Structure 1
Amino acid sequence: MSNILWFKAFHVIFMVAWFAGIFYLPRLFVNHAETSSVEVSEQLKGMERRLLYFITPFAILTVLLGLLLIFAYGNAWFVAAKWLHIKLTLVILLLIYHGYCFKLVKTFQQDNNLRSGKFYRVFNEIPVFALFAVILLAYIKPTFS
């Protein structure tokens, strides 16, 4: 049981690190979409790329430790934990979001962004709502009939 607690702790630590970046990256996109300065744009390109590559291992470690926890708890627990199925769906959507950020970084790198700062402000809210749902599911563990 003590190993499971270590896995849980590091799962949460890596998740927090991942989300710190996934919250900040779209804010960089907002600034990038709204700047007309070539110098600022070039600086943001570097910041966006470095941040995305920095947080990607945290996303991977979050997922790997989550899968390790599922394995440690066993198949019967997994099947019975309906809340976990919803959480995993949200995590998959967050991974798609993370992957889409790679496309956005590339779009900005090539100076091909056509979206407004307002779009990126809304885009920035997606992981916030997902995080609320994931945390509530993980800690409350609601039962579904």
Structure 2
Amino acid sequence: MIDFLAAMYPWTKSLHLLSIVAWMAGLFYLPRLFVYHAEASTPGDSRDEIFQVMERRLLRAIMNPAMIATWVFGLMLVMTPGIVDWSSIWPWTKAAAVLFLTWFHHWLGLRRKEFITGQSTISGRTFRIMNEVPTLALIVIVFSVILKF
């Protein structure tokens, strides 16, 4: 298995990066959809229905598969010999940021359910602020991996 992972390293890394890009795109876009949903519709109106379709498709067809693929390929990279130096700080800061993004992903899923039931109480302004969260985590991840501090 270890020989297989080492031989597949360039492919695994490429697939991991592609998965990250798709996941991050969704993490940037879904909170923005929530801003518009919160500010431009009321429960049950035609815009509410359109936003719900857009949010559902983004979450289920893009974000969920991309998050799972990011995790699978990331764990494959972690198991590849010589890739991660666990005595350094960087894998731990990256792992913390990825866990945080995973929590944020699920938080967004819960907010979508609130829109479905008409029980969303979060303002567009709050969603605007939350829209910056993935950027901060991405900065931590990129600097951790590239600088390996």
Q: TM-score, normalised by structure 2?
A: 0.89
Structure 1: runs of 5+ lacking an equivalent? none
Q: Corresponding residue for 2:74?
A: 66
Letter in 1 for 2:116: Q
- Higher-helix-fraction structure: 1
Contact 1:45/1:109, CA 8 A, preserved across alignment? yes
- Report what 2:135 is aligned to: 128
Quickly say closer, same or farther: Cα 1:102–1:36, change in 2 above 3 A: closer
Mark the runs of 5 or more structure 2 residues left unpaired by the alignment: 1-5
Aligned to 1:21: 26
CA RMSD between the two structures: 1.5
Does residue 35 in structure 1 map to residue 25 in structure 2?
no
* Conservation of the 8 A alpha-carbon contact between 1:70 and 1:78: no
> 1:137: which partner in 2?
144
TM-score of the aligned structures, taking structure 1 as reference length: 0.91
1:47 to 47, 54, 73: 54
- Preserved contact between residue 35 and residue 128 of structure 2 (Cα < 8 Å): yes
User: Per-residue displacement from partner, 1:47-71 (whole Å, max 9, x unpaired)?
Assistant: 1111111211110110111111110
CA-to-aligned-CA distance 1:104-143 (integer Å, 9 cap, x gap): 110001111111100000011000111111011111111x
Q: How many residues align?
A: 141
Amino acid at match of 2:13: K
Deviation at 1:41, TM superposition (A): 1.1
Q: Offset of 1:15 from its aligned partner?
A: 0.3
1:79 alignment partner, SS class: coil
Aligned mates of 1:18, 1:36 — CA distance in 2: 26
Displacement over 6 Å in runs of 4+: none
Corresponding residue SS for 2:86: helix
Q: Deviations over 1:12-49 (max 9, x none)?
A: 11000111111000010000100135111110011111
Taking every aligned residue pair, what percent have the same amino acid on both sides?
Answer: 35
**Residue 70 of structure 2: SS of its match in structure 1?**
helix
